[in-house]
Protein backbone atom coordinates (compact mmCIF):
# COMPACT_ATOMS: atom_id res chain seq x y z
CA UNK A 1 0.00 0.00 0.00
CA UNK A 2 1.34 3.44 -0.95
CA UNK A 3 1.93 6.02 1.77
CA UNK A 4 1.37 9.76 1.62
CA UNK A 5 4.31 12.10 1.96
CA UNK A 6 4.81 15.22 4.04
CA UNK A 7 7.88 17.37 3.39
CA UNK A 8 9.29 18.76 6.65
CA UNK A 9 11.50 21.84 6.82
CA UNK A 10 13.65 22.56 9.88
CA UNK A 11 13.83 26.35 10.15
CA UNK A 12 14.18 29.41 12.36
CA UNK A 13 10.90 31.11 11.41
CA UNK A 14 8.13 28.64 10.50
CA UNK A 15 5.49 31.31 9.83
CA UNK A 16 7.65 33.27 7.39
CA UNK A 17 9.01 30.20 5.59
CA UNK A 18 5.55 28.68 5.20
CA UNK A 19 4.28 31.96 3.69
CA UNK A 20 7.19 31.94 1.21
CA UNK A 21 6.53 28.36 0.10
CA UNK A 22 2.77 28.98 -0.16
CA UNK A 23 3.45 31.85 -2.54
CA UNK A 24 6.15 29.89 -4.40
CA UNK A 25 4.03 26.81 -5.16
CA UNK A 26 0.42 27.99 -4.83
CA UNK A 27 -0.30 26.23 -1.52
CA UNK A 28 -2.60 27.41 1.27
CA UNK A 29 -1.84 27.63 4.97
CA UNK A 30 -3.58 24.93 6.99
CA UNK A 31 -6.81 26.13 8.55
CA UNK A 32 -7.18 26.23 12.33
CA UNK A 33 -8.72 23.17 13.98
CA UNK A 34 -12.48 22.78 14.00
CA UNK A 35 -14.25 24.99 16.49
CA UNK A 36 -11.69 27.83 16.19
CA UNK A 37 -11.94 30.81 13.87
CA UNK A 38 -8.18 31.52 13.98
CA UNK A 39 -4.96 29.84 15.05
CA UNK A 40 -4.53 32.52 17.77
CA UNK A 41 -7.93 31.54 19.19
CA UNK A 42 -6.89 27.87 19.25
CA UNK A 43 -3.49 28.61 20.78
CA UNK A 44 -5.12 30.81 23.44
CA UNK A 45 -7.53 27.99 24.32
CA UNK A 46 -4.65 25.52 24.58
CA UNK A 47 -2.59 27.89 26.77
CA UNK A 48 0.33 28.16 24.34
CA UNK A 49 2.57 31.05 25.46
CA UNK A 50 3.44 33.83 22.99
CA UNK A 51 7.08 32.72 22.66
CA UNK A 52 5.98 29.26 21.41
CA UNK A 53 3.40 30.40 18.85
CA UNK A 54 5.81 30.24 15.94
CA UNK A 55 7.12 26.76 16.72
CA UNK A 56 5.40 25.25 13.68
CA UNK A 57 3.36 26.01 10.59
CA UNK A 58 1.96 23.92 7.77
CA UNK A 59 0.54 24.35 4.31
CA UNK A 60 -1.04 22.15 1.71
CA UNK A 61 -1.92 21.82 -1.95
CA UNK A 62 -5.51 23.09 -2.28
CA UNK A 63 -6.17 20.35 -4.86
CA UNK A 64 -4.94 17.69 -2.43
CA UNK A 65 -2.67 16.02 -4.97
CA UNK A 66 0.76 17.12 -3.73
CA UNK A 67 2.51 16.58 -0.37
CA UNK A 68 1.81 18.77 2.64
CA UNK A 69 4.69 21.01 3.78
CA UNK A 70 5.41 21.20 7.52
CA UNK A 71 7.75 23.78 9.05
CA UNK A 72 9.24 23.27 12.52
CA UNK A 73 11.44 25.61 14.49
CA UNK A 74 14.81 24.17 15.42
CA UNK A 75 17.53 25.85 17.49
CA UNK A 76 20.41 25.22 15.09
CA UNK A 77 20.96 26.94 11.77
CA UNK A 78 21.53 25.26 8.43
CA UNK A 79 25.12 24.04 8.27
CA UNK A 80 25.59 22.10 5.02
CA UNK A 81 24.18 21.53 1.56
CA UNK A 82 20.82 19.77 1.45
CA UNK A 83 21.03 16.04 0.71
CA UNK A 84 17.50 16.25 -0.66
CA UNK A 85 15.95 19.22 -2.43
CA UNK A 86 12.77 20.21 -4.20
CA UNK A 87 12.60 20.77 -7.95
CA UNK A 88 9.94 23.31 -8.87
CA UNK A 89 8.71 22.31 -12.32
CA UNK A 90 8.41 25.80 -13.79
CA UNK A 91 8.86 24.85 -17.46
CA UNK A 92 7.52 21.36 -18.11
CA UNK A 93 7.46 20.47 -21.79
CA UNK A 94 9.50 23.52 -22.84
CA UNK A 95 12.94 23.29 -24.44
CA UNK A 96 15.87 25.52 -25.34
CA UNK A 97 15.51 29.29 -25.18
CA UNK A 98 11.78 29.10 -24.43
CA UNK A 99 12.47 26.87 -21.40
CA UNK A 100 15.25 29.05 -20.06
CA UNK A 101 13.13 32.21 -20.51
CA UNK A 102 10.31 30.59 -18.49
CA UNK A 103 12.79 29.61 -15.76
CA UNK A 104 14.25 33.14 -15.68
CA UNK A 105 10.77 34.65 -15.31
CA UNK A 106 9.95 32.30 -12.43
CA UNK A 107 13.34 33.01 -10.86
CA UNK A 108 12.58 36.75 -10.85
CA UNK A 109 9.18 36.11 -9.20
CA UNK A 110 10.74 33.97 -6.48
CA UNK A 111 13.56 36.44 -5.82
CA UNK A 112 10.88 39.10 -5.24
CA UNK A 113 9.35 36.75 -2.64
CA UNK A 114 12.67 36.38 -0.79
CA UNK A 115 14.52 33.57 -2.59
CA UNK A 116 18.14 33.88 -3.72
CA UNK A 117 19.44 32.93 -7.14
CA UNK A 118 22.54 30.73 -6.88
CA UNK A 119 23.48 29.46 -10.35
CA UNK A 120 22.07 28.94 -13.84
CA UNK A 121 22.86 25.66 -15.60
CA UNK A 122 22.53 25.73 -19.38
CA UNK A 123 20.84 22.90 -21.27
CA UNK A 124 23.07 19.84 -21.66
CA UNK A 125 21.13 17.20 -23.60
CA UNK A 126 20.39 14.42 -23.00
CA UNK A 127 20.88 14.73 -19.22
CA UNK A 128 19.54 18.23 -18.59
CA UNK A 129 17.21 20.66 -20.26
CA UNK A 130 18.72 23.45 -18.16
CA UNK A 131 17.80 24.59 -14.65
CA UNK A 132 18.41 27.31 -12.06
CA UNK A 133 19.61 26.59 -8.51
CA UNK A 134 18.07 28.81 -5.84
CA UNK A 135 17.73 29.00 -2.06
CA UNK A 136 14.64 29.85 -0.03
CA UNK A 137 14.78 32.67 2.57
CA UNK A 138 16.47 30.32 5.09
CA UNK A 139 19.08 28.97 2.68
CA UNK A 140 17.47 25.65 1.69
CA UNK A 141 18.47 24.76 -1.87
CA UNK A 142 15.90 24.07 -4.55
CA UNK A 143 15.94 24.02 -8.35
CA UNK A 144 13.76 25.57 -10.98
CA UNK A 145 13.38 22.82 -13.51
Residue 79 lies in a domain: no
Q: Where are the alpha helices (DSSP H) in the chain?
A: 14-25, 39-45, 96-113
Edge-to-edge strands of the sheet including 141-144?
A: 86-88, 141-144, 131-135, 116-121
Locate all alpha helices (DSSP H) within 4-95, ordered by sequence: 14-25, 39-45
* Statement to judge: residues 63 and 19 lie in one domain: yes
Q: Whole domain around residue 19: which residue ranges?
A: 6-73
Shared domain for 66 and 100, answered yes or no, is: no
Least trusted range by pLDDT, from 18-27, 74-83, 99-108: 74-83
Do both 68 and 12 map to the same domain? yes
Cα–Cα distance, 69 to 8 (Å, whole number): 6
H helix and E strand count, the chain: 3, 8
- Tell me which of 33, 52, 73 is where a domain ends: 73
Select the more confidently predicted residue: 118 or 128.
Answer: 118
pTM of the model: 0.90
Task: Indicate whether 29 belongs to any domain.
Answer: yes
Q: Residue 32's pLDDT band (boundaries 50, 70, 90)? A: very high
Amino acid sequence: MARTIQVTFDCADPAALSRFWCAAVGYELDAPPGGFATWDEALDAWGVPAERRNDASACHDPDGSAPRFYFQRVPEGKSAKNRLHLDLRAAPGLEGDERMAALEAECERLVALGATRVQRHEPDPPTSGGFIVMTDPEGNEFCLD
